Amino acid sequence: MNDKKLTRSRTDKMIAGVCGGLSQYLGIDSTIVRLIFAVLLVFGGGGGILYLILWLVMPESTEF
């Protein structure tokens, strides 16, 4: 059973920890996730909307 949970990071964050949490969940570097959100924001604006939705939906991690 997979016990990984999608949560916002408390330690790897610049704004709300969404990208840090996604990177931990996916097992990739958080810089890559941040670049993907930046590209989505510049080309179409979907990155900003997606980030805000994830900020509201994802619970904050309880781990430090």
pLDDT in tens, 25-45: 999 999 999 999 899 889 888
Return the axis-axis angle of helices 30-42 and 46-57, rounded to nearest 10°: 130
Say yes or no to pLDDT of 16 above 70: yes
Can you point out the beta strands (E) in the chain?
A: none
Q: Rounding to the nearest 10 degrees, give the CA dihedral for residues 50, 55, 14, 41.
A: 10
User: What is residue 18's DSSP assignment?
Assistant: H
Give this prediction's pTM: 0.82
Q: Rounded to the nearest 5 degrees, what angle is found at the Cα of 45, between the Cα atoms of 39 and 48?
A: 85
Cα separation, 59 vs 55, in Å, equals: 8
